[in-house]
Structure 1
């Protein structure tokens, strides 16, 4: 749970143009940007060394690493993951590894609304789901994985 409405957010994407568009949105929404990671090692190091509340991650990453892999790594640290992609080809493993997806990255207000939603949810509130955010059924309203999602994450990370 977070205090107040300020989250610590990590952005993971191998496309620095996407990460560069998301970073100011995070900051302008009043949240702290923990860092930008373009690769697995940097992302995992930031998860280990910094208190992170939410990870915004691309679905397909360099070197065959996926958003689902990032979801499994973040879950091991108790951190919620939200995909930032317009890719409609989300598989069951991907859905089990994340709280949801922000589908319209070109609309800054959709990203800001999703950040506000997760800040409120992680602070214990139950706000309505905003436009542009698709929550996955496997996740509870608190942003924590349900037992089914946790089992799927463990299976995914064991591969």
Structure 2
């Protein structure tokens, strides 16, 4: 399945690498943004299936609230952060957290898992790199 994916990441090299991985997997990266306001604008302007959201953005630690808001808008959300303990208790409506740095294979498996759940397809198990939040 090809998905429309939003990358919310303020580190340019990390964002560029994620974009390459996702495009190699035949997904459409709708935009790469570095702050919560820009991410909200993108979701208002275009259809987004999945958002990969860092917790610390260029406007501060706004990623947690952003993830919650995007999920309320119907976007499937995976957090990506070097500090997964910041969301250890989970965030309502979001899938889980992938620790950074993550390799290409971990991103591929986490995205496939999240998109499968979005489509209601049977998903046997989450990849070990993806810490799931309770539903």
Does residue 1:82 correspond to 2:51, yes or no?
A: no
Q: Which moved more, 1:36-45 or 1:94-103?
A: 94-103
Q: Could you state the TM-score of these two structures normalised by the residue count of structure 2? A: 0.88
The 1-side partners of 2:4 and 2:62 are apart by 22
1:15 corresponds in structure 2 to: 11
The counterpart of 2:129, out of the listed 120, 128, 132, is: 132
Unaligned runs of at least 5 residues, structure 2: none
Does residue 1:98 correspond to 2:83, yes or no?
A: no
8 Å CA contact retained: 1:55, 1:79: yes
Q: Which moved more, 1:35-44 or 1:58-67?
A: 58-67
Higher strand share: 2
8 Å CA contact retained: 2:68, 2:91: no
**Which of structures 1 and 2 has the bigger CA Rg?**
1
- CA-based RMSD of the aligned residues comes to 1.9
Q: Provide, for residues 52-102 of structure 1, a one-character-per-residue CA deviation record: whole Å limited to 9, x for no partner.
A: 011101111122242112113202311121111131322467633631011
Unaligned runs of at least 5 residues, structure 1: 140-159
How many residues are treated as equivalent by the alignment? Answer: 134
The counterpart of 1:109, out of the listed 87, 105, 109, is: 105
Does residue 1:47 correspond to 2:43, yes or no?
A: yes
